[in-house]
Amino acid sequence: MTITKPFKHQTVSLAHADKHPVVYDCSDPGTGKTYVRIMQFAKRRKKKQGCALVLAQRSLLRSVWFNDFKKFAPNLTVSVADAENRDKAFAVDADVYVTNIDAVKWLAQQKPAFFKRFTELIIDESPAYKHHTSKRSKAAAKIAKYFKYRSALTGTPNSNTILDVWHQIYILDEGKRLGHSFYAFRDIVCSPKKVARDPNAIQWTDRDGAEEVVFALLSDIVVRHKFEDCVDIPANHQYPVEYELSPKQLKAYLELETTQILTTLAGKLTGKLIAVNAAAVATKLLQVASGAVYDGHGGYHLVDTARYEMILDLIEERKHSLCFFLWKHQRDLLIAEAEKRGVKYCVIDGNTTDKLRDEYVQGYQAGVYQTMFAHPKSAAHGLTLTRGTATIWSSPTYDLEIFKQGSKRQHRLGQTKKTETIVVVAKDTLEQKVYDRMLAKDARMTNLLDLFGSLTNAPVSMKKRLLEVA
């Protein structure tokens, strides 16, 4: 088998890994981060280094990592471990062990002798371990110390705040660069902001200059390649399409909105409890805007279906499209409308087997399906769907990481046509605020990514304090 020749930017990444045992690769989706890590490990394995452990999302274990190892490093043996076969998979003699991100809790229970075979840890989509207090994150930090070489991959390192970065880096270097205490780090790079009368209701916001300082401290381990600098393909156009609520929807929405206002006023007396209530009302508002209300028992009641007629109009106007849904009713209504119109479709969600998922992807790429309906948690990572040119979001999402990843399934290497990302937004509703908030987070994250390796305007005092903490 002929090994694929690396692109210029991948050669740069490989050269960096030769010099640094710890790597934080924040290159954009579609730039070939997986290829770099595979080829780097293959090189080390050839020099008699130990085995590799890959931590990735369950849906990517076989469809991406197993297949890419076979494609780029066919001489290496790969054992895939999931919840059903974990003991057996780790008992076999292999060069690479690929397992899901939650397996770290099982791995953390193993004795030190278990890890003697390993030298390399590869973490795919490292923000899965950004919450320093979670059992999963603590387990990841515990096992990481057994590995000489550590790499973390993500195109969205700080989809919410710069605080997202701390534990990802702690796993890599055990506090060497950003300190051993999350709270000490937070106190330096963020400022507390009171958001309610409850003294415990505090929001931490990034301080001016924090980005420059943090990323300057990470400059020796960071790899960053922008998609547009690496791949010569037509641009992607992102834009919202407004949907106007029907009179029935508007009535239900306004009634709930009034409830939210009253709840907020009551919160001045009840504190934390009201925050939970307000969040629940906000979820209901988004549900109504999207056409349904859930009853708390897994069922839902339809309010209006016109949104999905409009989405199918968008789908029919395009040869091939990827359409994301966030709610069960959205999936059901999209399918029903596609059936009515005779639109050929496939569905990928949490119930789709790995085998069927691969078949759907192959069918989509072959032009069998005009559209793929997909839940972002099942299809936002690892898929190449370059047959299509349109990504349609049935409603906006809070999750910037999911949005960025999902929108890159078509706008990536191999695409030869102009692409578009369409977000359906209900006019004058909370959906508009969700979309605007996501755009603001995207702008801030893009700014942070562009600052890697830069010391421009970095407050010296802040950098000094962080170095002291570390």
CATH code of 310's domain: 3.40.50.300
Tokens of 209: 């200059």
Domain range for 179: 8-224
**35 and 145 in one domain?**
yes
Q: What is the pLDDT of residue 451?
A: 55
CA distance 194 to 45: 52
> What separation in angstroms does the CA of 42 have from each of 14, 46, 73, 74, 98?
11, 6, 7, 10, 15
Tokens of 11: 């050669």
Q: What are phi and psi of 230, to 5 degrees?
A: -105, -30
**211 and 77 in one domain?**
yes
**320 and 268 in one domain?**
no
The DSSP bridge pattern shows strands 321-324 and 371-374 to be parallel
Per the CB < 8 A criterion, the answer to whether 349 and 340 are in contact is: no
Please state the domain count of the chain: 3
Does residue 39 lie in a domain region?
Answer: yes
The DSSP bridge pattern shows strands 321-324 and 390-393 to be parallel
Does residue 465 lie in a domain region?
Answer: no
Q: What is the pLDDT of residue 202?
A: 79
| Residue among 409, 377, 325, 412 at smallest CA distance from 58 | 377
Does residue 439 lie in a domain region?
Answer: no
Q: What is the pLDDT of residue 263?
A: 56
**277 and 357 in one domain?**
no
**309 and 297 in one domain?**
no
Tokens of 299: 């069922």
**181 and 319 in one domain?**
no
| Residue among 421, 460, 428, 401 at smallest CA distance from 125 | 401
Long-range contact set of residues 358-362: C-beta below 8 Å, sequence gap at least 24? 358/63, 361/63, 361/385
Residue-wise over 46-71: b if at least 16 C-beta within 10 A, else e? eeeebbbbbbbbebbbbbbbbebbee
**100 and 79 in one domain?**
yes
Does residue 447 lie in a domain region?
Answer: no
CA distance 144 to 102: 14
Does residue 454 lie in a domain region?
Answer: no
The per-residue pLDDT string of the chain (470 residues; one tens digit each, 9 = 90 and over) reads 345 688 888 898 898 889 999 999 998 888 889 999 999 999 999 999 999 999 999 888 988 899 999 999 999 999 999 888 999 999 999 999 999 999 999 999 999 999 999 999 999 999 999 999 999 999 999 999 999 999 999 988 887 888 999 999 999 999 999 999 999 999 998 988 876 555 566 788 888 888 888 878 898 999 988 888 887 888 899 999 999 999 999 998 998 888 765 555 555 545 554 555 667 788 889 999 999 988 878 789 999 999 999 999 999 999 999 999 999 999 999 999 999 999 999 999 999 988 899 999 999 999 999 999 999 999 988 888 999 999 999 999 988 889 999 999 999 878 899 999 999 999 999 999 999 988 888 877 776 666 553 433 445 566 666 666 66
Domain boundary among 303, 318, 338: 303
CA distance 102 to 109: 13
User: Mind listing the pLDDT tens digit for each residue in 177-190?
Assistant: 999 999 999 999 89
**290 and 401 in one domain?**
no
Q: What is the pLDDT of residue 458?
A: 43
The DSSP bridge pattern shows strands 236-243 and 419-426 to be parallel
pTM for the structure as a whole: 0.79
> What separation in angstroms does the CA of 84 have from each of 107, 131, 254, 335?
15, 26, 48, 32
Question: Which strand ranges, in their side-by-side order, compose the sheet holding 390-393?
Answer: 236-243, 419-426, 390-393, 321-324, 371-374, 345-348
**134 and 35 in one domain?**
yes
Q: What is the pLDDT of residue 235?
A: 87
Does residue 372 lie in a domain region?
Answer: yes
Which amino acid belongs to residue 411?
A: H
